Amino acid sequence: MERLGQKIVRFRKSISLVWLIALIVLGYFALQLPDQLKGNGFTRDGEFQQVEQVLEQEFKQDPHQIIVLFEGDEPTIRKEMTRHVTLFRDIKGVGQVVGPTENPQAIRDGKGYLTVGTPDIEQKWTKAVENKVDVPNDVSVRLTGEPLIVDDLNTASKNDLVRAELIGVPAALLVLLIVFGTPLAAVLPLIMGLVTFIFGAGTLYFVAGQKELSIFVLNAVAMISLALGIDFSLLYVNRFREEQGKGYSIARAAEVSVATAGRSILFSGICVFVGLAGLLVIDVDVFQAVAIGTLVSVLGAVISAITLLPALLALFGAGLEKGRIFKSGSDRGEQRWRNLARFVMKRPVAITVFSLILLVPCLIPLRDLELNIPQASALPEDYASRLAFESWEKTFGDDGTDAVVLVEGDFSSEAGLRRLEEATRKFQADSGVKDVISGATLAEQNGLDLEQAVQIEQAKQQLTPWIAFDADVARVNVNLVGDPGDQASQDWVRKVREMGYTIGGPAAFNQEIYDEIYDKMPLALSVVLLATFLILLIAFRSILIPIKAILMNLLSLGATFGLLVILFESGLVFPAETIGILTPVFIFSLVFGLSMDYEVFLVSRMEEYYDETGDNDVATEMGLAKTSKIITSAALIMIVVTGAFAFTGVSPIKQLGVGIALAIFIDATIVRMLLVPALMKLFGHWNWWWPGGRRKRQTKWH
């Protein structure tokens, strides 16, 4: 790393110029990224998707639908609905328009609705439908459905990002000014955070051209970019100033900082990278999209921190101390941290027990954790598409199709028709089923059995939306007793699959998403934990330190999830709602890496002092004294940046921001200030035990 530092200082102008050109180019594409993000990302290539393709190809079902909700007195809305069916069918490119003639149940309690099929969720279809709406004053019309909800989620996410930045960035700047005391030293970490974001967002623009990226990617990339850009800069700038204080020249201080802080940044970046890479194991688009986005940002943060930042400091390092606003007071600050370390190490057992008393009870609410897949309810409460959807769902939601079962057979034969009738009767007799619609039930409504109906040409034509005779497949629509997202409905889907049927619909969608996440999480967790253990093993040449770091992280994250249940599900702080299924997964991946980031910063410095003195107590005390101010400052900045998302409207993003802020707070206080020094004291020299004896690093700088 020292050689790398020498080369960066030598070619500092060229490196800075290359970065400037790259950022101008990437910045142009970063501005266009939001328009490339589509959907909530909850898709995967499973059986649900196969059924959707069959329904689209064989039964001409549209992949997406706009719901047009009419409200007024029943005779008037029936007339207006019938008139608007004709108007909507005139829109070029739309699919099926279903009105009261095709769906007699679509008018009830002063409300009625039409559905307009669309080939995709592009905004142009919504605009086209809106332009055709023309109703008298005594009738109101509202639009909802997937195309509008996804578009509103995209808009709300962008607005939330701006709102959070307006709160978080000024707060972060204030913290940086207090920490460093001078304008340039304070602004530099924010600049590096912006550099990381531009790198990530600009690169993702090209990824979005090859792979559909979720609308949640933008916020996740902003969070991780600011966090790592600022964290790495804090560590590096602090070490640079420390080396300058020893009398080194600007160039030499930059070189030494690359060799010391740069090494910590490299291992920290690898830990964060591994934590986020665990998301790639889960075969759901939103997790893979966020993983790709944040991994690109981590890469940008590491590369910029060990190339651009030292080059800038080598160029402008003389200005770091100019224009001082706050006094440094670094000696007093270090002494306070040393006093805290001594206090904790004098009573390690009591401090450890006290810390566990604070954290373990927070695990209890985890038994009440309920997860959901974000839909309309993820939007702010005042968004029109959410209000319209909730109104539609309240009146018509119980009549929807929760599952679509495909029955295969030769329906020109008696055996095939009998198979469809038997399947229909089987589902009708199921206690978990409310209603069933199939070719067999339609024939029965006309006073015929299925075999008779297919012999009559007119009746057979009426069955084609339900039986694809040429493709040898029939559909059975099932309305379940429970909600399609509850556990009973998911169990029902699994039971039907075990019978040999292919099944789709909302219940199958939920079951596949939940099963994929729950089935793959142990693997993802194992990969992350094992990889992190090996990285820390190599970084510190210690068996015990990686094990302790992983266990402390798991404990603090478990406590965070328990607190989220209290904050959101109880309704005591935020309006009562279940936790978005992506929230705990993202928090684990992001915070696990960031916590290891802080662990590497802290223990790397302890290791330097241990290799020099061979005294575990001195190493612990000095490591805390030298790094705690920076780690605490980095954590505080992370808390204000991510905590600002608590004031946003999209509930998964709000939960994510609050969760990360909570986790970082717990890590920076209970874990770093209390548990780490207490456990370092308890285990003594065993902290640094290594098979075959420990080889000291050749360290030149203190």
d(CA 532, CA 513): 27
Say which residues have a Cβ less than 8 Å from residue 640's Cβ, sequence separation at least 6: 167, 168, 171, 172, 175
pLDDT at 699: 46
- What is the third-level CATH fold of 47-149? Alpha-Beta Plaits (3.30.70)
Domain 1-36+181-328 in CATH: superfamily? Multidrug efflux transporter AcrB transmembrane domain (1.20.1640.10)
Beta bridge mates, 479? 435
pLDDT at 118: 94
- What is the third-level CATH fold of 332-368+541-702? Multidrug efflux transporter AcrB transmembrane fold (1.20.1640)
pLDDT at 539: 78
pTM of the model: 0.82
pLDDT at 628: 82
pLDDT at 27: 93
Written as one letter, the residue type at 352 is T
SS3 content of the chain, % helix, strand, coil (to 5): 70, 10, 20
How confident is the chain (702 residues) per 10-residue block, as mean pLDDT?
Answer: 80 92 94 79 81 90 93 93 94 92 87 93 91 91 91 83 83 84 87 92 88 78 84 84 83 85 82 82 84 90 92 86 72 78 90 94 90 80 90 84 91 90 93 91 85 84 88 93 88 93 91 89 87 84 89 92 91 83 82 78 85 87 84 84 81 87 90 88 88 58 41
What are the φ/ψ torsions at residue 576 (nearest 5 degrees)? -60, 125
Residues of the chain with CATH 3.30.70: 47-149
From the list 285, 298, 296, the residue with the least C-alpha distance to 227 is 298
pLDDT at 632: 85
CB atoms within 10 A of CB 383: 21
Both tokens of 160, joined, read 């939330």
pLDDT at 116: 95
Q: What is the largest CA-CA distance in the chain?
A: 99
Residues of the chain with CATH 1.20.1640.10: 1-36+181-328, 332-368+541-702
